[in-house]
Amino acid sequence: MEDLLEELLAECRPYTQQGTLANYIPELAKGNIDDLGIYVQRSDGRHYQVGDYKKRFTIQSVVKPILLLLALLDNGEEFVRSRIGVEATGKPFDAINVTDQSLLSEHLNPMVNMGAIAMCSLIKGATYEERFQRLLDLTRTLAGDPNICLDEAVYQSEKRTGNKNRALAFLLKSYGLLQDDVEEVLDCYFKACSISVNSKDLAQVGFVLANRGKLPQTDERIFPSRYAHYVNAILMTCGMYDGSGDFAVRVGVPAKSGVGGGIMAVVPTRMGIGIFSPGLDGKGNSLAGAQVLERLSKRMYLSIF
């Protein structure tokens, strides 16, 4: 397995130069476009890693399935479904024109920015600081890494420049889909996207989703199996932004990308995969990372289709 990963690393490293750093967030523009790391956690307890798998980066949109899990744990599936839809928008992750009609809860999707901002308001806590801390704690538990923390520089960078997300939040507010103070909700969202992780962390989170809510090694259940089914289904249809259909055909596993360059992939019952390469394609997905996953899926017959 390690030989295969080394081979894929060599095959896909040239693709790192074809991507673009997410320069609309100034701190992300400081990334090294040459980085490429892969970590695989298998159901037999074995793990394999190559490249820059120890390199830390901000989780960005890969936090969205964790946000969804926490919203489900706090409120149950029926309540979450009443507030956040599940249909793919078919539009970019930061799109404002989700619909030409009045904005309704079913127009929201947990894997795009507008839906994720709304999900922050569904997390329980007396303050938004407490809500973020609970999200951070769940991320640490799923990843098996108590040292995961906030990247303060990226958080401040996002907060200074995140005016499009402010527009999305105020649009939610104007349609009655957000009751709380917009800046408090956004602060939680910006912090959520600025959680610092590495490829191993993403692989571990992906493995828990692949293992239907149970942690590796201990088999301790963190969330009901049904929630894994719910999250994985949405990842399959929406996790790679408006490139999700193409990704389903090419790779065929539930996955979530982030503009920090991370991809978390879920191979149900078999493995979790974490990849980092910050050069992005036109959809906002890691270009080299998607190439690695496509080749790995074909070599190991990972597609669920």
CATH topology of 2-54+196-218+228-300 equal to that of 61-195?
A: yes
Catalytic residue chosen out of the listed positions 39, 40, 61, 267 = 61
Strand segments, DSSP code E, in the chain are 37-42, 47-51, 57-58, 149-150, 195-197, 255-257, 262-267, 271-276
Long-range contacts of 72-76 (CB under 8 A, 24+ apart): 72/223, 72/227, 72/230, 72/231, 73/223, 73/227, 74/122, 74/123, 74/124, 75/122, 75/124
Residue 189: active-site member: yes
Is 80 exceeded by the pLDDT of residue 264? Answer: yes
Per annotation, catalytic residue among 189, 208, 253, 266:
189
Residue 93: the pLDDT is: 66
Q: Is the confidence at residue 129, as pLDDT, over 80?
A: yes
Beta partners for residue 57, in sequence order: 197
Superfamily of segment(s) 61-195:
DD-peptidase/beta-lactamase superfamily (3.40.710.10)
If you average pLDDT over residues 109-117, what whole number do you get? 94
Q: Is the pTM of this model over 0.75?
A: yes
The predicted model gives 81-105 an average pLDDT of 73
- Give the C-alpha distances (Å, rounded to integers) separating 158 from 58, 95, 189: 11, 17, 10
Catalytic site includes residue 241: yes
Kindly state the average pLDDT of the residues 248-267.
Answer: 98
How many other CB atoms are found less than 10 A from the CB of residue 183?
12
Of the residues 48, 53, 64, 194, only one is catalytic, namely 64
pLDDT grade for 99, boundaries at 50, 70 and 90: low
What's the fold here for domain 2-54+196-218+228-300? Beta-lactamase (3.40.710)
Q: Which of 62, 63, 205, 259 is catalytic?
A: 259
Of the candidate ranges 54-58, 95-99, 182-186, 231-235, the one whose mean pLDDT is the lowest: 95-99
91 pLDDT tier (thresholds 50, 70, 90): low
Quick: pLDDT tens for 13-30. 999 999 999 998 999 999
Residue 266 annotated in active site: no
Residue 17: exposure state from Cβ atoms within 10 A (0-12, 13-18, ≥19)? exposed
Mean pLDDT of the chain: 94
pLDDT above 90 for 41: yes
Domain edges within the chain: 2-54+196-218+228-300, 61-195
Q: pLDDT (tens digit, 9 = 90+) per residue, 206-237?
A: 999 999 999 988 889 999 999 999 999 999 99
Share of the chain above pLDDT 70, in %: 96
